Amino acid sequence: DVKVTQSSRYLVKRTGEKVFLECVQDMDHENMFWYRQDPGLGLRLIYFSYDVKMKEKGDIPEGYSVSREKKERFSLILESASTNQTSMYLCASSLGGEKLFFGSGTQLSVL
Amino acid sequence: AQSVTQPDIHITVSEGASLELRCNYSYGATPYLFWYVQSPGQGLQLLLKYFSGDTLVQGIKGFEAEFKRSQSSFNLRKPSVHWSDAAEYFCAVGAWGNKLVFGAGTILRVKS
């Protein structure tokens, strides 16, 4: 089975901190995605990547950046964390158009 | 712009009863449609997908969904719900390449 691993299940940070969320997939998938999940809003796409060193903005990229230096790893960066970035962050990967494989999520709290 | 509406935030059904979760979408081209399920503390798992062909699609865990182009709907159904089906369900629409737009989700509660 495909495994998508997110480095932390729970994370607590202070306002203004730089935050790194890491995601690793083990199936050589080309496509990787970062979503945030908020109650009543569902999942919203932050950034995605179709290849190494390539990135594209999703629907809500403001306040975030990403890095993909290796095919298996896709990092989400909060340059200066704010309280409105408190959320569940979900990483996903896919090979083509079939389906997304999701990690278990990182619940980030910004105080 | 593409969008997905799941009108029901919460649904409660009795174990053994039938289930239908509603999903309406707005999309400019032929859509790819998905239903995902999220159990507590878990990531999302694909239940089923529609790309083309037969408009009634079968998925895992006894779920099915029917694509109705005229109604822009892709409702999820199950004839008999089990307590383990309690979870949050997400409908999603997109194009090939997986840039999906998700609905807000429907939380299913199952009462015994």
Q: Chain A residue with minimal CA distance to B34?
A: A99
What pLDDT, on the 0 to 100 scale, is given for residue A99?
A: 81
Burial of A90 (0-12, 13-18, 19+ CB in 10 A): buried
Q: Does A33 touch chain B (CB under 8 A)?
A: yes
Retrieve residue B60's tokens.
């895992």
| pLDDT beyond 70 at A85 | yes
Give the residue on A whose Cα is nearest the Cα of B97: A97
Q: Flag if A90 and B34 touch (Cβ within 8 Å).
A: no
Question: What CA–CA distance (Å, rounded) separates B20 from B79?
Answer: 9
The minimal CB distance from A48 to the residues B45, B99, B104 is found for B99
Residue A53's pLDDT band (boundaries 50, 70, 90)? confident
The one-digit pLDDT tens for each residue of chain B (112 residues) are 789 999 999 999 999 999 999 999 998 777 899 999 999 878 899 999 998 888 999 999 999 999 999 999 999 999 999 999 999 999 999 876 567 899 999 999 999 8
B90 contacts chain A (CB < 8 A): yes
pLDDT of residue A97 exceeding 80, the answer is: no
For B48, counting Cβ atoms within 10 Å of its Cβ (0-12 exposed, 13-18 middle, 19+ buried), the class is buried
